[in-house]
Amino acid sequence: MAVIPVELAGRPYQVHVGRGLLENAAEICGDFLRKTIVPVVADENARAHHGDRLDQSLSNAGHEIAWYDVAPGEGSKSWRELERLTDWLLAQGVERGDKVIALGGGVTGDLTGFACSILKRGCGFIQVPTTLLAQVDSSVGGKTAINTAAGKNLIGAFHQPSLVLADTDSLTTLPPREIGAGYAEVIKYGILGDAAFFDWCENHGGEVVALDEQALETAVSRSVETKARIVAEDERELTGRRALLNLGHTFGHALEAETGYSSALLHGEGVALGMVLAARYSARRDLLSLGDAERIAAAIGSAGLPTEISALGLDCDGARLADHMRHDKKMDAGTLPFILLRSIGAAFLDHDVSLDDASAFLDEQL
């Protein structure tokens, strides 16, 4: 087991990573659970598979869980669900000093975190992420949000959890594609800022997606450390440092938009392909060697993730994908910042990418 100390927004908290954490949840949470009744906001699938382990630990310590079920899917990150959840938390008598537990993937974590950020102007919460993506990405960093008709994650707040329990046993019940999608965000940390970790991923990526325990613990811990370090340098995304975490996301979002944000392309799969495109585009501009771009593609492909747009069978051209980019929420004063690469482990923010040039590049790739 690993315990990673994180300090964000001047608030220190711990991220526990390893097996069997749910069985010991009451002990790890300790004084954070100060009342008999503990509100747990849970994704229905996460509760069905792992709720009993949490329940057992808390009831052994004399607590009782008040469950709130979250239906799986992005639809739960809505105003309606936010209202329903905040009303329920108020009805439970949750006070600012209490800690609400979020059990589930990024959807549950984002919804619960945002509800807690506004409940009585901010109450505490504990993240218990049960997907690989949530363990390595959404549960760390303090971004919380819901979606609106105008787009994803447009309404939200920065609100850090008091504690994160990333129990790697909970990943064993995830569909393999969800593991792959989460792994895309893992290897992203290596590509953008940690060449030694990228080397590790080249050698151990197969073990991570096959759920080898030791490999999973290393992958999650290292990802959490890297994300926390980058976020600490730029918590509110003001200097551009935190923006590096969006490597692969500009191309990826365009592909997600083109596939209608459907299960045809999971977010992590879009990011995987988006990173390959960012690397190849960097090579096309003579910023990165072609050899490094293809090394990145090979490492991503060997985890079973997509590396060629042509494999998606899209009926569109580069201009259409560039048009999706024009609507990207990161568009700022008419320019879209792109994350490009100088070498593996050295990403940088480029404000001077022309969408026409990106479109011509995409035409070559399609």
106 belongs to the binding site for ligand NAD (CB under 6 A) = yes
Active site amino acids = 121, 143, 185, 227, 237, 242, 246, 249, 253, 267
Strand 37-43 with 2-8, pairing:
unpaired
Q: What six digits make up the tokens of 205?
A: 């990526």
153 vs 365, beta carbon nearer ligand NAD: 153
Size of the site for ligand NAD (CB under 6 A): 29
Q: What is the token pair recorded at 246?
A: 């969006």
170 binds ligand NAD (CB under 6 A): yes
- Burial profile 218-247: b = 16 or more Cβ within 10 angstroms, e = fewer: bbbbbbbbbbbebbeeebebeeebbbbbbb
Please, which of residues 62-101 interact with ligand NAD by CB under 6 A?
Answer: 72, 74, 77
Closest CB to ligand NAD among 114 and 197? 114
The yes or no reply on residue 112 touching ligand NAD (CB under 6 A) is no
DSSP letters along 194-232, please?
-HHHHHHHHHHHHHHHTT-HHHHHHHHHHHHHHHHHHHH
Q: Quick check: 51 binds ligand NAD (CB under 6 A)?
A: no
What letter does residue 294 receive in the DSSP assignment?
Answer: H
* Burial class of 205 by CB neighbour count within 10 A (0 to 12, 13 to 18, 19+): buried
Q: Which of 26, 134, 136, 340 binds ligand NAD (CB under 6 A)?
A: 134
For tokens 């190849």, name the residue.
Answer: 280
Binding string, 173-212, against ligand NAD, x = CB under 6 A? Answer: xx---x----------------------------------
Is residue 270 near ligand NAD by the rule CB under 6 A?
no
Which residues here bind ligand NAD, judged by CB under 6 A? 43, 45-46, 49-50, 72, 74, 77, 104-108, 110, 130-131, 133-134, 137-138, 141, 143-144, 152-153, 170, 173-174, 178
